[in-house]
Amino acid sequence: MELLKWTRGLNIGVAVIDEQHQYITECINRLHKAIEDENRGAIDASFDEIIDYTVTHFGFEENLQAQAGYEFCTAHRRAHMLFVKRVGVFKQQFDASKDEESIEIGQEVLQMLRRWIINHIQQEEDYSDFVLMRMNERTVGKPKGWMSRLFN
C-alpha cells in the first residue's frame, strides 16, 4: 500500500509546483516500497532520486520567488538549504552502513521525509498566494509576461 496519498488539499494553486510536489510524494512512496522489499539497491536509487529532484525543485521555487519579488525568499531559501544538509547526512550514513543497518536508516529517512513533505507543502501557502497575486497582476493585458513564459 502507498505510504502517501495525494489529495487535492495538498495543492497550493500554482500548477507547476503542485506537479513537482506530487512527484516528490511519488518518490517517497517508491522509497517506502524499496524498504518494504528490503532492497538496498532500490532504496539507494530512490534516495538519490529524492535528493536530486528535491534540489531541482528548490531551485525552481527560489527562481519563481525571486522573479515574483517575494519578500521572504531568503528565509525560504535557508529552510531549503537546511533540508538538503539534513538529507545529505542521512545519505552519508546510509552509504557507510552495513546491509543490516541500511534498512533501519532507510526507515528513519522515510519517517523524516513523510513529515517533511507535508510541512514543506503547508509552509508554501504564503509564497504561493503571493506568486498567484503577482501572476494575476502581470498577466492582465500582458500575455507575454514573465509568468506566461514560465507556465506555458
Stretch that binds Fe ion, among 35-43, 48-56, 59-67, 88-96 (CB under 5 A): 59-67
CA–CA gap between residue 87 and residue 116 (Å, rounded): 11
19 or 37: whose CB is closer to Fe ion? 19
Taking CB under 5 A as the criterion, the residue among 61, 103, 109, 131 binding Fe ion is: 61
Instruction: State the helix-helix crossing angle for 15-36 and 99-122, rounded to 10 degrees.
Output: 160
**Segment interacting with Fe ion, rule: CB under 5 A, options 53-61, 66-74, 104-112, 135-143:** 53-61
> Taking the alpha carbons of 45, 47, 51, 53 in that order, is the dihedral positive or negative?
positive
The distance of closest approach from Cβ of residue 56 to Fe ion in the complex, given in angstroms and rounded to an integer, is 11
Q: Does 18 engage in binding with Fe ion (CB under 5 A)?
A: no
Helix (H, G, I), strand (E, B) or coil at 46: helix
Alpha helices in the chain (DSSP H): 15-36, 40-68, 73-96, 99-122, 125-139, 146-151
What number of chain residues touch Fe ion (CB under 5 A)? Answer: 1
**CB nearer Fe ion, residue 14 or residue 103:** 14
Binding site residues, Fe ion, CB under 5 A: 61
